C-alpha cells in the first residue's frame, strides 16, 4: 500500500485477526457473486460459497487447479485466460463478459472482474476474481432482440404481401379483364358462324369464358386475403366490417361488428396488426369454435384501443397447451407486444372464447 494512504482498518481499531475474521465472514456470506483468489500463475487459492453456487465446484475440487477450467474451448484456443491475467497484471484490473463453463459442462453468461493484488512492497501476490452470473439479464436482452427482429420480419412480410397483392390486382387482374373482353368480342362475332356448323366449339368457348371469370374472382380473393385494399383505402373500421360480412357469408355464422362512433386514426402498423389479430381470431372461430354467433368489437376509452372477438362456441380445450405448429395465438400475442399492448384470451368451456387485444392509443395513433 502506498505510504500516506489511510488504511480503513485503522479507523475501526480492528486487529488484523479481527479484520481477517470479518473479511472472511463477509466473503463467505456472499452467495450471488463468485469471489475467489488466484495465485500469480492463475491457480485457485480460495473459493467462496457464491463461487460454488455459480460454478458447481466445492473448495476441495477446485483449490489448486488452474482457473482456465472455467473457460470455453474457443476462449482457451484464443488464449483468453492468460490475456485477462496479463491485462490485470499490467493495468491493475481487467473486466470481461462472456461464456463460462460450470463443473457439469453447462455454460453461463458471466461478468468477470479480475483485480491484481500487491503487497506493501508492490510485489504481485495474485488476483482477486469476482464473477457474476448474468444469464438472466442476457436472456432478457436476447428476448428483447428476438421481439425486435420478429417485428422487423413481420413488417417486411406485410410489405411483401402488399406488393404481391398489388401486382396480382393491377397486373394479372388487368390482363384477365382484357382477356375476358377479347373473348366476349370473339364470341359475339363467331356466334352467327359457328352456331350451326360447330356447336361444340361454341360450348367450349363459353366454358373458357366461365373459367376466365373464375380466375378473376380467385385473383381478387387471393389479393384481398394478402392485403385487403379496403384497409389501405378506408381504414381499420371499414376493413373489420368487410371481414365480418365476408365471414357471415362464407361460414353462415351470425357475425356482427361494433365500431366506435368516432373514427380512430391509426398508423399503418397498428391498423394491419389489429386487422391480422381479428382475421386470425375469426379463422380460429371458423376452424375450432362451432359457434352460432360472433361479435367483433373495436372500442376506445381515450387511453386504450381495444379489439375483441367473442364467440359462443365450444371454448378452448382443457389441454390447450400450445402446439409447436399452432402459431395463431402466439402470433397475435407477438403482434400486440410489438405495439406495446397485451392480448388476453378468456374461455369458459361451452361458453365460447373471447380474444381481447388492448393497445395504448399513444403508440398507435397517426401523429398529428
Ligand atoms: N375460438 C376458439 N374456439 C375454440 N378453440 C379455439 C379457438 N381459438 C383457438 N382455439 C384452440 O386453440 C388452439 C390454438 O390456436 P392457434 O394458435 O390459432 O392454432 P391453430 O388454429 O393453428 O390450431 C387451437 O388448436 C384450438 O384448439
Ligand atoms: Mg389458428
Query: What tens digit of pLDDT does each residue of 107-158 get?
Result: 999 999 999 999 999 899 999 999 999 998 899 999 889 888 888 898 899 9
Binning pLDDT at 50, 70 and 90, where does residue 99 land? very high
Listed range (73-77, 159-163, 192-196, 308-312) with the worst mean pLDDT: 192-196
Residue 229 in grid coordinates: 385494399
CATH number (3.30.450.20, 3.30.70.20, 3.40.50.300, 3.40.640.10) of 31-133 reads: 3.30.450.20
Binning pLDDT at 50, 70 and 90, where does residue 320 land? low
C-alpha dist (Å) from residue 231 to 3, 78, 266: 77, 55, 11
Strand, helix or coil for residue 7: coil
Q: What is the chain's mean pLDDT, rounded?
A: 89
Listed range (18-22, 73-77, 205-209, 321-325) with the worst mean pLDDT: 321-325
For the CA of 327, the nearest atom of ligand 1: 17
Judge if the beta carbon of residue 328 lies within 6 A of ligand 1: yes
C-alpha dist (Å) from residue 136 to 30, 102, 140, 353: 19, 16, 6, 35
Q: Which ligand is nearest to the CA of 282?
A: 1
Torsion angle in degrees (nearest 10) through CA of 352, 353, 354, 355: -160
Are 26 and 46 within 8 A, CB to CB? no
Strand, helix or coil for residue 224: helix
Residues β-bridged to residue 256: 295
Strand, helix or coil for residue 357: strand
CA 84 to ligand 2 centroid distance, Å: 52
Judge if the beta carbon of residue 228 lies within 6 A of ligand 1: no
Judge if the beta carbon of residue 282 lies within 6 A of ligand 1: no
The residue written with cell numbers 510485489 in the block is: 123
Are 283 and 246 within 8 A, CB to CB? no
- At CA 248, angle to CA 246 and CA 249, rounded to 5? 65
Quote the pLDDT of residue 5: 47
Are 70 and 101 within 8 A, CB to CB? yes
Quote the pLDDT of residue 164: 94
Share of the chain above pLDDT 70, in %: 94
Quote the pLDDT of residue 225: 86
pLDDT tops 90 at residue 354:
yes
What is the tens place of the pLDDT at every residue in 228-256?
Answer: 889 989 999 999 999 999 999 999 999 99
Span 308-331, mean pLDDT?
Answer: 81
| Residue with more model confidence, 10 or 118 | 118
Share of the chain above pLDDT 90, in %: 64
Quote the pLDDT of residue 1: 46
Judge if the beta carbon of residue 313 lies within 6 A of ligand 1: yes
Are 98 and 131 within 8 A, CB to CB? no
Binning pLDDT at 50, 70 and 90, where does residue 11 land? very low
Listed range (31-45, 182-196, 292-306) with the worst mean pLDDT: 182-196
Residues β-bridged to residue 46: 37
Binning pLDDT at 50, 70 and 90, where does residue 211 land? very high
pLDDT tops 70 at residue 79:
yes
DSSP state of 365: B
DSSP state of 48: -
Judge if the beta carbon of residue 326 lies within 6 A of ligand 1: yes
Top mutation candidate among 277, 284, 328, 348 for ligand 1, by most atoms within 8 Å of CB: 284
pLDDT tops 80 at residue 3:
no
Rounded CA separation 9/67 (Å): 30
Quote the pLDDT of residue 214: 95
Quote the pLDDT of residue 212: 94
Torsion angle in degrees (nearest 10) through CA of 358, 359, 360, 361: -110
pLDDT tops 70 at residue 323:
no
What is the tens place of the pLDDT at every residue in 60-77?
Answer: 999 999 999 999 999 999
C-alpha dist (Å) from residue 6 to 1, 10, 12: 9, 8, 12
Are 299 and 365 within 8 A, CB to CB? no
Span 81-92, mean pLDDT?
Answer: 95
pLDDT tops 70 at residue 13:
no
Nearest C-alpha to atom 19 of ligand 1 is from which residue?
326
Judge if the beta carbon of residue 285 lies within 6 A of ligand 1: yes
pLDDT tops 70 at residue 35:
yes
For the CA of 326, the nearest atom of ligand 1: 19
Judge if the beta carbon of residue 314 lies within 6 A of ligand 1: yes
For the CA of 284, the nearest atom of ligand 1: 8
Are 248 and 255 within 8 A, CB to CB? yes
Residue 114 in grid coordinates: 479480475
Quote the pLDDT of residue 7: 53
CATH topology of domain 230-368: Heat Shock Protein 90 (3.30.565)
Are 250 and 351 within 8 A, CB to CB? no
For the CA of 287, the nearest atom of ligand 1: 21
Residue 182 in grid coordinates: 377479347
Quote the pLDDT of residue 325: 62
Binning pLDDT at 50, 70 and 90, where does residue 361 land? very high
What share of residues in the chain are helix, strand, coil (percent, to 5)? 55, 20, 25
Residues β-bridged to residue 360: 304
Judge if the beta carbon of residue 290 lies within 6 A of ligand 1: no
Listed range (18-22, 68-72, 311-315, 361-365) with the worst mean pLDDT: 18-22
The residue written with cell numbers 392509443 in the block is: 361
Residues 326-365 as b or e (16 or more Cβ within 10 Å = b): eebbebbbbbbebbebebeeebeeeebbbbbbbbeeeebe
DSSP strand pairing (342-347 vs 353-360): antiparallel
Listed range (265-279, 317-331, 347-361) with the worst mean pLDDT: 317-331
Amino acid at each position: 500500500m502506498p505510504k500516506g494512504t489511510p488504511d480503513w482498518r485503522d479507523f475501526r481499531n480492528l486487529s488484523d485477526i479481527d479484520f481477517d475474521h470479518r473479511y472472511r465472514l463477509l466473503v463467505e456470506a456472499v452467495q450471488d457473486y463468485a469471489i475467489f483468489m488466484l495465485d500469480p500463475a492463475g491457480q485457485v487459492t480460495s473459493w467462496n460459497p457464491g463461487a460454488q453456487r455459480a460454478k458447481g465446484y466445492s473448495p476441495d475440487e477446485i483449490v489448486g487447479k488452474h482457473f482456465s477450467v472455467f473457460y470455453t474451448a474457443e476462449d482457451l484456443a484464443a488464449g483468453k485466460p492468460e490475456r485477462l491475467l496479463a491485462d490485470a497484471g499490467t493495468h491493475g484490473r481487467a473486466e470481461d463478459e462472456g461464456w463460462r463453463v460450470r463443473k457439469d459442462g453447462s455454460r453461463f453468461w458471466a461478468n468477470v472482474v479480475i483485480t491484481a493484488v500487491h503487497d506493501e512492497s508492490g510485489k504481485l501476490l495474485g488476483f482477486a476474481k469476482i464473477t457474476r452470473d448474468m444469464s438472466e439479464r442476457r436472456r432478457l436482452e436476447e428476448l428483447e432482440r428476438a421481439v425486435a427482429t420478429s417485428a422487423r420480419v413481420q413488417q417486411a412480410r406485410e410489405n411483401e404481401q402488399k406488393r404481391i397483392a398489388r401486382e396480382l390486382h393491377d397486373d394479372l387482374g388487368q390482363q384477365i379483364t382484357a382477356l375476358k373482353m377479347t373473348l366476349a368480342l370473339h364470341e359475339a362475332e363467331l356466334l352467327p358462324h359457328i352456331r350451326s356448323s360447330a356447336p361444340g366449339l361454341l360450348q367450349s368457348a363459353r366454358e373458357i369464358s366461365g373459367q376466365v371469370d373464375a380466375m378473376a374472382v380467385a385473383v381478387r380473393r387471393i389479393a384481398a386475403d394478402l392485403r385487403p385494399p379496403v384497409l389501405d383505402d378506408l381504414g381499420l373500421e371499414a376493413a373489420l366490417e368487410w371481414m365480418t360480412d365476408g365471414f357471415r357469408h362464407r361460414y353462415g355464422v351470425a357475425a356482427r361488428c361494433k365500431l366506435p362512433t368516432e373514427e380512430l386514426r391509426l398508423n399503418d402498423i397498428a391498423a394491419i396488426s389489429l386487422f391480422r389479430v381479428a382475421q386470425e381470431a375469426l379463422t380460429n372461430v371458423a376452424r375450432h369454435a362451432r359457434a352460432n354467433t360472433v361479435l367483433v368489437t373495436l372500442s376506445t376509452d381515450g387511453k386504450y384501443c381495444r379489439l375483441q372477438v367473442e364467440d359462443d362456441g365450444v371454448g378452448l380445450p382443457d389441454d390447450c397447451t400450445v402446439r409447436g405448429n399452432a402459431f395463431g395465438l402466439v402470433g397475435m400475442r407477438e403482434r400486440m407486444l410489438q405495439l406495446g399492448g397485451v392480448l388476453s384470451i378468456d374461455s369458459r368451456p361451452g361458453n365460447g372464447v373471447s380474444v381481447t387485444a388492448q393497445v395504448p392509443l399513444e403508440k398507435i395513433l397517426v401523429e398529428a
